């Protein structure tokens, strides 16, 4: 893709966002066909939003998540600052197509992980982390049938990013925990909706965090201090409707809560 095609693709997606609409697919003449092209469109989409990048999300880190959007592996997207809500707040669901909530481990970066020629190890990535947070993601798509368009178009559409709810940093000694075995529960209106563990996130949310550090490294982007990375759902994505109160409970690591308007 040339810059004109990238710009056209991003403009179509951003207009669709602003109109709370959906499209079947991007036009063939400006449709990304690989990850490199797709991330270029995503970057232009973020530029058009005129919002800061609060952090990053990983979609499809679980088998259920991959089935939900029709891909065979994880993809990365930007968390835009205008789409971040603190735990305990309220958001209006609006014309959200997916209408699901996901319980996720989120990590705030404390030390830069810049682009480089060699891959980062999990130990290097964890050493760059400042804090761990419980979180909720409420994804969405601008495609009418998001499970059929494929990974490049989903990446271009910011990897199904929509709303992100950040819980308070945990005061537990999380580095001593086996996060892969840590239980996570999702609650809807005080009723238990789903159970899961960190193992549903590429086997371990720390592995997922390493994956995105290396995905961004390969794109020449990197992770910056202060950015938050949410690592994918630990539970089956839970249906939501206006009026719901959703809580992602991580036990002694804390909880994130959001009211849906």
CATH of the domain at 183: 3.90.850.10
251-261 pLDDT, tens digit per residue, is 999 999 999 99
CB 246 within 8 A of CB 103: no
Long-range contacts of 112-118 (CB under 8 A, 24+ apart): 112/222, 112/223, 112/224, 112/225, 113/213, 113/216, 113/217, 113/222, 113/223, 114/217, 114/222, 115/216, 115/217, 115/218, 115/219, 115/220, 115/221, 115/222, 116/217
Chain-centre distance for alpha carbon 239: 17
Give CA separation, 175 vs 171, 179, 218, in Å: 11, 9, 27
177: in domain: yes
2: in domain: no
161: in domain: yes
Q: What is the pLDDT of residue 154?
A: 97
Q: What is the pLDDT of residue 107?
A: 98
**Domain encompassing residue 210:** 52-260
32: in domain: no
37: in domain: no
> Is the pLDDT assigned to residue 127 strictly greater than 90?
yes
221: in domain: yes
88-119 pLDDT, tens digit per residue, is 999 999 999 999 999 999 999 999 999 999 99
In this structure, the dihedral spanned by the alpha carbons of residues 217, 159, 250 and 188, taken in order and rounded to 10 degrees, is 170
Rounded Cα–Cα distance for residues 18 and 49 (Å): 10
Give CA separation, 95 vs 3, 21, 55, in Å: 30, 8, 24
How many structural domains comprise the chain?
1
Q: How many CB atoms lie within 10 A of CB 182?
A: 20
Percent of the chain with pLDDT over 90: 93
Q: What is the pLDDT of residue 63?
A: 78
28: in domain: no
6-59 pLDDT, tens digit per residue, is 999 999 999 999 999 999 999 999 999 999 999 999 999 999 999 999 999 999
Lookup result for tokens 């940093």: 169
Lookup result for tokens 């991007």: 26
């Amino acid at each position: 893709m040339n810059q004109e095609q990238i710009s056209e693709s991003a403009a179509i997606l951003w207009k669709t966002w602003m109109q709370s609409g959906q499209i079947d697919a991007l036009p063939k003449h400006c449709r990304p066909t690989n990850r490199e092209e797709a991330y270029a469109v995503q970057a232009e989409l973020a530029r058009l939003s005129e919002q800061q990048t609060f952090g990053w999300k990983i979609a499809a880190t679980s088998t259920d998540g991959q089935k939900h959007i029709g891909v065979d592996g994880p993809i990365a997207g930007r968390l835009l600052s205008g789409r971040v809500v603190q735990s305990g707040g309220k958001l209006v669901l609006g014309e959200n197509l997916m209408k699901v909530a996901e319980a996720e481990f989120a990590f705030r970066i404390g030390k830069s992980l810049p682009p480089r020629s060699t891959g980062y190890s999990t130990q290097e990535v964890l050493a760059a982390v400042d804090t761990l947070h419980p979180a909720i993601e409420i994804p969405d798509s601008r495609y009418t049938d998001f499970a059929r368009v494929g990974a490049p178009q989903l990446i271009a559409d910011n990897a199904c990013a929509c709303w992100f709810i950040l819980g308070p940093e945990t005061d537990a000694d999380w580095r001593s925990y086996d996060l892969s075995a840590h239980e996570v529960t999702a609650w809807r209106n005080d009723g238990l909706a789903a159970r899961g563990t960190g193992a549903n996130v590429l086997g371990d949310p720390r592995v997922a965090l390493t994956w995105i550090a290396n995905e961004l490294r390969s794109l020449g982007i990197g992770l910056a201090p202060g950015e938050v990375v949410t690592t994918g759902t630990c539970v089956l994505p839970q249906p939501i409707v206006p009026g719901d109160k959703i809580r992602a409970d991580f036990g002694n690591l804390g909880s994130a809560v959001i009211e849906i308007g």
